[in-house]
Amino acid sequence: MGDKIMFLEKLKSLNNMFEEVESKLSDSSIISNQEEYRKLTKQHFYLRPLVEKYIQYSKLLNEIKDAEELQKSKDAEMKEIAFAEYNDLIEKRNQMENEIKVLLIPTDLDEDKNIIVEIRAGTGGSEAALFVGDLYRMYTRFAERNGWKYEVLGSNPTGLGGYKEVVFEINGGKVWRCFKFERGAHRVQRVPETEASGRVHTSAVTVAVLPEAEEVDVEIKMEDLRVDTYRASGAGGQHINKTDSAIRITHLPTGLVVACQDERSQVKNRAKAFKVLRAKIYEQRILEHERRLSSERKQQIGSGDRSEKIRTYNFPQNRITDHRIGYSVYNITEVMDGNLSELVNKLIKADIESKLKGNNI
């Protein structure tokens, strides 16, 4: 009973907070303060579905109370009807409480952000580089299936469809929610086209998923940067090796380095490099904050550690296994063509279940 009271009190408190936020949002002084207005808008977005559920929940509790009273009736038929209705209402209450508990999970600060994905070849030489290209295609096909837009920010192609690395952004609703569990090491087991004996090789690539940071999230001081220009090299078009259009930016306080050479224009390469750098600095700060909050990161579905092996793609067995949740699918061709929904939904569900048990992911 005590837990029920605390649950109801929490909902009442959130309802009061929602009313306070609504009041502030109509204040002209708040509207003129963009940073505060943005913060309150996010709060309002998070609280609104909770308050709507709270209103439904309160109404349901009153209906349960009425049904309990009707069960005391001396009319046998009325008691029977009231008893059946009571059981139905209790079932609805339990279901609604579970829905509210999910809504009570703190919203990810980056939930509404676009993302920057960085895929790098690891062990495996040319086969790893080819798998970078395969994952790039898989993710962009997944983006297309969901109506999201993407743009390459930087790449280092090796030919034959492979990349030493490729960096691209994806814009659209809930992209962070769907991609945040892709962070880590992806292992591939298959027979390379160049392998005459048919022997299966194991290679690996790392994937980083960065929430796109805005200027209000990360302030970059020009005196903290070293910017170098150089001539682009490798595959990429006729402009390669003819102009000093490539940009390398080093953030001196953190040692982070970002390079971009995909555009013919130095200005465009600089803008893309800044976008990636800002996201990397933001990611670093978020991970540091999370580590301070949680000393049990090994319990989490995804820590963001790029060395953590998260998934194996076994082509001979037509199997993809996500090691964090112990789940396998046997449709590797479809998944590599961008049909990631089943794996993504399983990870989101596991994330919610973990948070409901008290593990902050």
**Using one digit for the tens of pLDDT, what is the confidence trace for 47-74?**
899 999 999 999 999 999 988 888 888 8
Strand partners, 277: none
Does 221 map to a domain?
Answer: no
**One domain, residues 83 and 201:** no
**One domain, residues 312 and 169:** yes
Compute the average pLDDT of residues 102-129.
Answer: 85
Compute the average pLDDT of residues 103-129.
Answer: 85
**CATH number of 188's domain:** 3.30.70.1660
Q: What is the pLDDT of residue 37?
A: 85
**CATH number of 249's domain:** 3.30.160.20
Q: What is the pLDDT of residue 337?
A: 97
Does 110 map to a domain?
Answer: no
**Last residue of one domain, picked from the residues 104, 135, 154:** 104
Element containing residue 293 per DSSP (H, E): helix 266-293
Q: What is the pLDDT of residue 288?
A: 72
Q: What is the pLDDT of residue 282?
A: 83
pLDDT above 70 as % of the chain: 87
Q: Please tell me which residue, 135 or 114, carries the higher pLDDT value.
A: 135
Compute the average pLDDT of residues 112-123.
Answer: 90
Q: What is the pLDDT of residue 82?
A: 84
* Burial class for 268, CB neighbours closer than 10 Å (0-12, 13-18, 19+): middle
Among 38-52, 139-153, 182-196, 290-304, the least confident range: 290-304
**Last residue of one domain, picked from the residues 240, 268, 289:** 289
User: What is the overall mean pLDDT for the chain?
Assistant: 84
**Using one digit for the tens of pLDDT, what is the confidence trace for 280-329?**
888 887 777 566 545 433 444 444 455 679 999 999 999 999 999 999 99
In this model, does residue 94 exceed pLDDT 50?
Answer: yes
Q: Residue 44 sits in which domain range?
A: 2-104
Asked if 124 and 204 touch (Cβ cutoff 8 Å), the reply is yes
Q: Phi and psi for 14 in degrees, rounded to 5?
A: -70, -35
**One domain, residues 202 and 153:** yes
Q: What is the pLDDT of residue 292?
A: 55
Long-range contacts of 168-173 (CB under 8 A, 24+ apart): 168/116, 168/117, 168/136, 168/139, 168/140, 169/114, 169/115, 169/116, 169/117, 169/212, 169/275, 170/114, 170/115, 170/117, 170/139, 170/143, 171/114, 172/114, 172/143, 172/146, 172/147, 172/148, 173/112
pLDDT band for 240, please (50, 70, 90 cuts): very low
Q: What is the pLDDT of residue 33?
A: 84
In this model, does residue 236 exceed pLDDT 80?
Answer: no
Cα–Cα distance measured from residue 244 to residue 251, given in angstroms and rounded to the nearest whole number: 21
Long-range contacts of 2-7 (CB under 8 A, 24+ apart): 7/97, 7/100
> Structurally, how many domains does the chain consist of?
3
**One domain, residues 77 and 197:** no
Q: How large is the C-alpha radius of gyration of the chain?
A: 26
Q: Please tell me which residue, 253 or 303, carries the higher pLDDT value.
A: 253
Q: Please tell me which residue, 232 or 40, carries the higher pLDDT value.
A: 40
In this model, does residue 269 exceed pLDDT 80?
Answer: yes
List the strands of the sheet with 246-251, edge to edge.
Answer: 225-230, 246-251, 256-260
**One domain, residues 209 and 350:** yes
Compute the average pLDDT of residues 349-358.
Answer: 80
